């Protein structure tokens, strides 16, 4: 019995297995004697992987009193595995995915194009209809709200005008439904903030 990493020097060539045991520095008997002599601080048992309660049960002997329960190593390992999995989930949530930056860049590019489109009302405002409403006395705030395109119309407008922003592909880097979803989230931020 040797702790991991211990160096054992053998003397002369042993002639039998028993002779080999004489050259080992720690014997089973010494471990048991130390546990009996000093049950509270039996470091030998810990170093060599023995637990007093397990020795009591295995050897049917009675070392000095201690609450004897066999450790359920399978349950302990399962608990440790659960803790490791939970910690790995926390780490995954803290670290962005390797594709996060690429997707964030695409999203920022699309939202930039959408803002650009919103500042070009000639793309989506019907001038004749607007002039009729002004003459009929419709409040300015209602005129502006009615003139703004819906999220679906804005996504369609982005798709129509995409060659302006992405001349190589002629298409936005995100799917139309994804763009609509991002627009919806952006529009509803004020409602959620209230």
Q: How far is CA 55 from the centre of its chain?
A: 42
Query: Does the pLDDT of residue 6 top 50, yes or no?
Result: no
Phi, psi of 116, deg, nearest 5:
-60, -40
pLDDT of residue 60: 67
Name the more confident of 42 and 51: 51
State how far the Cα of 8 lies from the Cα of 23, in Å rounded to an integer. 8
Instruction: Note if the pTM is more than 0.85.
Output: no
Name the pLDDT band for 82 (thresholds 50, 70, 90): very high
Cβ atoms 52, 39 nearer than 8 A: yes
For residue 86, is pLDDT > 70? yes
Compute the average pLDDT of residues 82-110: 83
DSSP code at position 43: H
Q: Which residues contact 25 (CB under 8 A, 6 or more apart)?
A: 2, 8
Of the listed ranges 5-19, 41-55, 106-120, 148-162, the one predicted with least confidence: 5-19
Q: What Cα–Cα distance (Å) separates residue 44 from each residue in 39, 104, 131, 148?
A: 10, 57, 95, 80
The pLDDT value recorded for residue 85 is: 94
| Confidence (pLDDT) at 64 | 57
Q: Cα(27)–Cα(171) distance, rounded to whole angstroms?
A: 78
Task: Report the percent of the chain where pLDDT is more than 90.
Answer: 15
Q: How far is CA 189 from the centre of its chain?
A: 27
Mean pLDDT value of segment 70-80: 84
At 98-154, the pLDDT tens digits run: 677 777 888 889 999 999 988 888 888 888 888 888 888 888 888 888 888 888 889
Query: What mean pLDDT is predicted for residues 150-178?
Result: 90
Instruction: State the pLDDT at residue 166.
Output: 92
Examine the pLDDT at 7 and tell me if it is beyond 60. no
Mean pLDDT of 11-28: 54
Alpha-helix runs per DSSP H in the chain: 17-22, 28-37, 43-47, 52-59, 73-94, 100-118, 127-135, 140-147, 151-160, 162-165, 176-187, 189-193
């Amino acid at each position: 019995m040797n702790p991991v990493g211990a160096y054992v020097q053998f003397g002369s060539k042993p002639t039998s297995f028993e002779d080999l045991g004489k050259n080992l520095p720690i014997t089973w008997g010494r471990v048991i004697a130390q546990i009996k002599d000093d049950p509270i601080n039996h470091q030998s048992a810990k170093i060599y992987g023995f637990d007093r309660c397990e020795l009591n049960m295995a050897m049917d002997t009675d070392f000095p009193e201690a609450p004897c329960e066999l450790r359920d190593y399978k349950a302990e390992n399962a608990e440790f595995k659960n803790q490791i999995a939970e910690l790995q989930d926390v780490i995954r949530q803290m670290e962005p995915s390797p594709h996060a930056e690429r997707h964030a860049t695409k999203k920022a590019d699309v939202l930039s194009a959408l803002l650009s489109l919103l500042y070009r009302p000639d793309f989506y405002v019907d001038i004749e209809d607007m002039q009729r409403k002004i003459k009929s006395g419709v409040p300015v705030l209602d005129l502006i709200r009615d003139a703004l395109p819906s999220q679906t119309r804005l996504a369609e407008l982005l798709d129509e005008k995409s060659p302006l922003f992405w001349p190589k592909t002629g298409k936005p880097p995100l799917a139309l439904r994804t763009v609509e979803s991002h627009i919806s989230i952006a529009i509803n931020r004020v409602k959620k903030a209230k």
